[in-house]
Amino acid sequence: MIKLFRNIRRNLLAEGATGKYLRYAVGEIILVMIGILLALQVNTWNESRKYRSLEIEFKVGLKKDLLRDKENIGICISNIDKKMAAHDQLIKGLPIAYETNKKVLDSLFNFLIQPLISFFPVSGTFDSAISSGNTSNFKDKSLIEKAHYLYNSKYPRLVYNGELVDNRNLKIRDLYVHELRTGEIGHFNSERLNTLLDDIERANFGNDFRKSIFEETLPLIDEILNTP
């Protein structure tokens, strides 16, 4: 093709057809520009198709991760509910019902001061997309904003709160090594009863708040899951 154009220019110059040559040259420039624009358009189309495919892949992976997170959050909330119920029964049952319901109350106390079920989000899809830089080319900006808020604000708050509660419960557990080893609260006088009730209250402190953070997070997860 290039050789053909070169021969045409040479023939026009040899014939002294300067006007025709100039018109031909302008036409040739226009053709080249059209070719460049078409190439750019094809490249843009290919890039757009590539990022569209990556965005679909991102959404599928993100939703799989969030479904696992939602399941784990449900398990965590159930565990918190059981601990709060154990707290209520212990507060009401000690010391009056201890002698008649000793095994149940011992078991509830043991359960209450056990560590919470930890929550760690599944973030592989989100982390991979962010590190690649591909999200800046995704069309669904609203989804990206929600995912950023979830992974960079909501989830860190949940993990941090869980660590605080666990650290507090570990300190309480250290005070009741004998009770945990024997499986019994044992006998207590009024002073020890007050201390025990205070520690039961400390062990339960924060559970309701932690549950509320989980429940506040679930609607955001559902919004992302319902994204087309």
Residue 19 lies in a domain: no
Residues 121 and 177 sit within 8 Å (Cβ to Cβ): no
196 to 82, 94, 95, 106, 109: CA distances (angstroms): 19, 9, 10, 12, 10
Residue 163 lies in a domain: yes
Least confident of 9-13, 97-101, 131-135: 9-13
- The confidence band for 59, taking pLDDT boundaries of 50, 70 and 90, is very high
Q: pTM for the full model?
A: 0.75
Q: Which residues contact 21 (CB under 8 A, 6 or more apart)?
A: 9, 12, 13
- Give the tens place of pLDDT for each residue, 16-38: 555 554 555 566 667 667 767 66
Residue 202 lies in a domain: yes
Q: Which domain holds residue 92?
A: 53-225
Please indicate whether residue 8 or residue 162 has the higher confidence score (pLDDT): 162
Q: How far apart are alpha carbons 43 and 34 in whole angstroms?
A: 14
CA atoms within 13 A on the CB side of 54: 18
Residue 15 lies in a domain: no
- Quote the DSSP letter at residue 154: I
Number of domains in the chain: 1
Residue 11 lies in a domain: no
Residue 37 lies in a domain: no
Least confident of 69-73, 88-92, 103-107, 117-121: 103-107
Residue 57 lies in a domain: yes
- Give the tens place of pLDDT for each residue, 136-193: 889 999 999 999 999 999 999 999 988 888 888 888 888 877 777 787 777 666 777 7
